[in-house]
C-alpha cells in the first residue's frame, strides 16, 4: 500500500489545472474526483490509521483507550505500536511469524526483521522512527540516531576535533560579526538538526534554545557556539531519555487502559 493512499471517505473534488488538455467528449468537467487520499491531505494520516485499525481488528487486535496507536491481541501474546505506516511488533516468535504472514497477505511490507537474531549482541539497539532504543535493566533508553551527529560533524569538518565535556555556551559573547550568506545557510541547517535532536536529548536543550535566538542574524560567535554543542554531542553518543519499567497493578486506571 503506497504511503497514505487509502480510500477517501468523503467526495473530494479538485479543480483541473488550466494546462490540462483532453479530447472533446460528451461529458466535460472542470473537476477531478479523488478516490484515494494523498500525502499532504489534512486527514490522510487519520484515514490511514482507520484503515490499519480495521485490518488489525479483523486479525483479533484491540486498540487501547489511552493510547489508540497501541494494539493488543485478544488471544495471542502480541502487541503492535503504530506510527502512521511504521510499525513495531512485539510478542512470542511464533505469534510474530503468524502476524507477519497475515500482514503480507494484505500489505506490501518493507524493511524490518524479527529480533533478537541468532548471536545478536544484547547491547545492539532497536531502530525505530530514526531513534535508537536500548533495553537496560533500569528501562529503555531512547536516543537520536547517530547519523545526525555524524552529519553535523561533516557540515563543519569537525571530525578530527576533540569532543567537549559540557554543552553550556550561555556565557559566550555573541555580539560579533554577522556571517556571510553561505555561513548563514550552514548555521540554520545545523540549528534545524539540533532543534530536532533536542527533543530526545535534554542535556543540550538550554544551549540549543539560546543559539536559536540567532537564526535571523547568525554571527561568528553564535557559529562557534553551534560547533561547541556539536562537539559535545560527539562525545556523548549514548545519552538519551530513560523510560523506566513499570509493573501494572489492579487499579481503576488499568481498567480504563484496557489491560
Task: Count other Cβ atoms within 10 Å, centred on residue 186.
Answer: 17
Which of 106, 129, 146 terminates a domain? The answer is 106
How much is the pLDDT for 128? 77
- Residues 83 and 126 placed together within one structural domain of the fold: no
Task: Count other Cβ atoms within 10 Å, centred on residue 224.
Answer: 13
Which of 106, 134, 156 terminates a domain? The answer is 106
- Cell of residue 180, nine digits: 556571510
- 232-257 per-residue burial string, b: 16 or more CB within 10 A, e: under 16: bbbebeebbeeeeeeeeeeeeeeeee
pTM, full prediction: 0.64
- Residues 91 and 195 placed together within one structural domain of the fold: no
How far apart are alpha carbons 225 and 212 in whole angstroms?
Answer: 11
- Residues 164 and 221 placed together within one structural domain of the fold: yes
Tell me which residue range forms the domain holding 202.
Answer: 119-259
- Residues 27 and 101 placed together within one structural domain of the fold: yes
How much is the pLDDT for 152? 95
Domains contained in the chain, number: 2
For the CA atoms of 125, 127, 131, 137, what is the dihedral angle to 10 degrees? Answer: -30
In this structure, are residues 142 and 243 in contact, taking their beta carbons and an 8 Å threshold?
Answer: yes
How much is the pLDDT for 229? 95
How much is the pLDDT for 252? 47
Q: Which parts of the chain sit beneath pLDDT 70?
A: 1-3, 21-28, 112-118, 120, 122, 170-175, 247-259
Amino acid at each position: 500500500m503506497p504511503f497514505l493512499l487509502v480510500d477517501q471517505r468523503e467526495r473530494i473534488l479538485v479543480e483541473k489545472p488550466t494546462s490540462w488538455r483532453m479530447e472533446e467528449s460528451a461529458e466535460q468537467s472542470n473537476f477531478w474526483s479523488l478516490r484515494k487520499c494523498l500525502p499532504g491531505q489534512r486527514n490522510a494520516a487519520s484515514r490511514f490509521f482507520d484503515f490499519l485499525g480495521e485490518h488489525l481488528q479483523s486479525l483479533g487486535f484491540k486498540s487501547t483507550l489511552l493510547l489508540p496507536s497501541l494494539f493488543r491481541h485478544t488471544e495471542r501474546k502480541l502487541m503492535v505500536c503504530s506510527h502512521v505506516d511504521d510499525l513495531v511488533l512485539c510478542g512470542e516468535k511464533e505469534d510474530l511469524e503468524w502476524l507477519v504472514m497475515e500482514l503480507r497477505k494484505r500489505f506490501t511490507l518493507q524493511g524490518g526483521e524479527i529480533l533478537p537474531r541468532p548471536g545478536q549482541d544484547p547491547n545492539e539497539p532497536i531502530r525505530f522512527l530514526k531513534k535508537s532504543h536500548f533495553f537496560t535493566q533500569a528501562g529503555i533508553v531512547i536516543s537520536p540516531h547517530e547519523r545526525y551527529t555524524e552529519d553535523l560533524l561533516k557540515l563543519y569538518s569537525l571530525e578530527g576535533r576533540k569532543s567537549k565535556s559540557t554543552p553550556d555556551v550561555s556565557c559566550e559573547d555573541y555580539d560579533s560579526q554577522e556571517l556571510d550568506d553561505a555561513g548563514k545557510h550552514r548555521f540554520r541547517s545545523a540549528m534545524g538538526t539540533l532543534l530536532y535532536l533536542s527533543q530526545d536529548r535534554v542535556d543540550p536543550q538550554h544551549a540549543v534554545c539560546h543559539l536559536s535566538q540567532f537564526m535571523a542574524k547568525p554571527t561568528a560567535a553564535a557559529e562557534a557556539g553551534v560547533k561547541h554543542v556539536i562537539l559535545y554531542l560527539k562525545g556523548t553518543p549514548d545519552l538519551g531519555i530513560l523510560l523506566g519499567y513499570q509493573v501494572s497493578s489492579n487499579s481503576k486506571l488499568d481498567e480504563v487502559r484496557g489491560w
